[in-house]
Amino acid sequence: MSHRYADIAFTETIKKLQEAHGSRKSYARFEVIEEPVNQVLGPREAGFIGERDSFYMASVSETGWPYVQHRGGPPGFVRVLDERTIGFADFRGNRQYISVGNMMTDDRVSLFFMDYAHRTRLKILGRARLVDLEENTILNRLELPEYRAKVERGIVIRIEAFDWNCPQHITPRYSTAEVQEAIIPLKQRIAELEATLTAMSETTANPT
């Protein structure tokens, strides 16, 4: 089967570089012309996206310059709308509107979803559409009533391709919530030891 991500990302120049560096043979197997794959999200991809609290998104300006922006929110703020569509509420930020302006002239975007703790990365290529506040049917699926941030619009992205990256060179990092969860057993053990020490001290102070 042809690998949709490779079809888009591997230009002739890139293929020549792969050939020169010895990786072309392993990637060529992605390009057998049959039913394309890696453009439809499965349970693994949907679950991974639904757990993330941030991602990086690249867009292209009218002058050809790439622009990368970090987007964040509570876990699950990016919604999987169907097997080829994801979306998120666009919260007010610094109001430069670079990504929004770029999407108005070129709808192509590239996204990186990162799980630093488990050294996992999902790359997505897609086409973005800006959703006005009046489009209630879609926006209602993207809004987060309990998250205190002003929503200026929605952004819906049609998946063109995705690929999972290897964990090489991803430095593990942990969120505050992940650290707090990880140290729960340590806190419990400390409490147990403190209780034991207290009991031993009381026994020593009041021998029978």
pLDDT tens-digit series, residues 138-147: 889 998 988 8
> Taken in order 112, 113, 116, 120, is the CA torsion positive or negative?
negative
DSSP assigned state of 2: B
pLDDT of residue 33: 61
In the chain, where does DSSP find H-type helix?
4-9, 12-21, 24-28, 43-51, 98-105, 136-142, 176-182, 184-205
DSSP assigned state of 91: E
Domain 39-172 belongs to what topology? Pnp Oxidase; Chain A (2.30.110)
pLDDT of residue 152: 93
Weakest-pLDDT range from 32-46, 89-103, 129-143, 159-173:
32-46
Range 32-46 average pLDDT = 85
- Model confidence at 17: pLDDT above 60: yes
Integer Cα distance of 104 and 93 in angstroms? 18
From residue 132, give the alpha-carbon distance in Å to each of 140, 171, 189. 12, 38, 52
- Scan for tokens 């969120």, then name that residue: 175
**CB-side exposure of 108: number of CA atoms within 13 Å?**
11
- Model confidence at 34: pLDDT above 70: no
**pTM to 2 decimal places:** 0.86
- Residue 63 burial (10 A CB sphere; 0-12, 13-18, 19+): exposed
pLDDT of residue 208: 61
pLDDT of residue 31: 74
- Model confidence at 2: pLDDT above 80: no
Range 164-182 average pLDDT = 91
Q: Binning pLDDT at 50, 70 and 90, where does residue 29 land?
A: confident
**Domain limits of the chain?**
1-35, 39-172, 174-208
- Model confidence at 131: pLDDT above 90: yes
Weakest-pLDDT range from 89-93, 123-127, 189-193:
89-93
pLDDT of residue 146: 87
DSSP assigned state of 147: S
pLDDT digits 0-9 by tens, 61-90: 999 999 999 999 999 999 999 999 999 999
- Scan for tokens 């999987």, then name that residue: 80
Q: Is 3 helix (H, G, I), strand (E, B) or coil?
A: strand
Q: Binning pLDDT at 50, 70 and 90, where does residue 205 land?
A: confident
